[in-house]
């Protein structure tokens, strides 16, 4: 009987150590979160695309950051979080990955890799260049605008990698930025689903 108790305690100790090791290893690795939202607005693709090209500051502000400076396509931003305040430098521009690369990233290989097609109108990307928050490894925001009937379909995808958080926490942290951008676009262009 004493042997059974000892075996039980050893197994419990081994299980506890395994859980602790997994927890420490999991918390030490960087996590990547990804969130996407798709919605319709009541404006044609060209009008929405033109507005995006000319209003990166409004888009940045809609995510909850303070815009400190703008130099060409680069913006210096201040972000306040529960971990503190930090400064980011991002670059806005057309999505310059090739059409083949975008198709592969979306899970479909519809483009011949040897064919050089122009960058489609309606694809925009914002990339993190620098951050004074050492935990923020990378962040990208892609905005795609496509014609949908008499209006436009907007798809916004944000991907962030943070060294001190897990994927779920990062994904939850991205949501307010997506809601802010969606509210901005629907307020500016109207929504067929809204009042």
C-alpha span between 189 and 151 (Å, rounded): 9
| Mean pLDDT within 3-32 | 52
Whichever domain contains 138, its CATH number is 3.30.530.20
Q: What is the average pLDDT score of the chain?
A: 78
Residue 1 within any structural domain of the chain: no
User: How many C-beta neighbours within 10 Å does residue 172 have?
Assistant: 13
Exposure class string for 51-90: b at 16+ Cβ within 10 A, else e: bbeeebeebbebbebeeeeeeeeebbbebeeeeeebebbb
Residue 46 within any structural domain of the chain: yes
Residue 3 within any structural domain of the chain: no
Contact 64, 180 (CB under 8 A): yes
Is 99 or 41 the better-scoring residue by pLDDT?
41
Please give the tally of structural domains in the chain: 1
Kindly give the pairing relationship between strand 123-131 and strand 84-94.
Answer: antiparallel
Most confident of 34-48, 85-99, 159-173: 34-48
| Mean pLDDT within 102-125 | 54
pLDDT at 114: 46
pLDDT at 164: 81
Residue 126 within any structural domain of the chain: yes
pLDDT at 145 exceeding the cut of 90: yes
Residue 6 within any structural domain of the chain: no
pLDDT at 16 exceeding the cut of 80: no
Residue 13 within any structural domain of the chain: no
pLDDT at 45: 93
Q: Which of 121, 120, 57, 62 is nearest to 90 (CA)?
A: 57
Where in the sequence is the domain holding 151, given as residue range(s)? Answer: 30-189
Residue 2 within any structural domain of the chain: no
Burial class from Cβ neighbours inside 10 Å (0-12, 13-18, 19+) for residue 177 reads: buried
pLDDT at 39: 96
Residue 16 within any structural domain of the chain: no
pLDDT-wise least confident of 74-83, 110-119, 167-176? 110-119
Contact 146, 104 (CB under 8 A): no
pLDDT at 31 exceeding the cut of 70: yes
In which band, very low, low, confident or very high, does the pLDDT at 23 lie, cut at 50, 70 and 90? Answer: very low
């Amino acid at each position: 009987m004493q042997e059974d108790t000892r075996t039980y305690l050893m197994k419990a100790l081994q299980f506890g150590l395994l859980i602790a090791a997994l927890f420490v290893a999991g918390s030490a690795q960087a996590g990547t979160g990804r969130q996407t939202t798709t919605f319709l607005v009541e404006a044609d693709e060209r009008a929405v695309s033109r507005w995006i090209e000319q209003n990166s500051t409004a888009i940045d502000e809609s995510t909850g950051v303070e815009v400190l400076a703008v130099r060409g396509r680069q913006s210096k931003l201040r972000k306040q979080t529960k971990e503190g305040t930090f400064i980011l430098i991002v670059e806005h521009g057309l999505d310059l990955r090739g059409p083949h690369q975008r198709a592969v990233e979306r899970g479909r290989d519809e483009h011949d890799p040897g064919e050089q097609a122009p960058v489609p109108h309606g694809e925009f990307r914002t990339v993190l260049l620098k951050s004074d928050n050492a935990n923020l490894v990378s962040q990208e925001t892609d905005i795609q605008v496509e014609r949908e009937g008499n209006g436009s379909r907007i798809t916004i995808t944000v991907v962030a990698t943070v060294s001190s958080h897990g994927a779920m926490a990062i994904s939850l942290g991205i949501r307010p930025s997506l809601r802010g951008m969606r509210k901005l676009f629907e307020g500016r262009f109207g929504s067929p689903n809204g009042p």
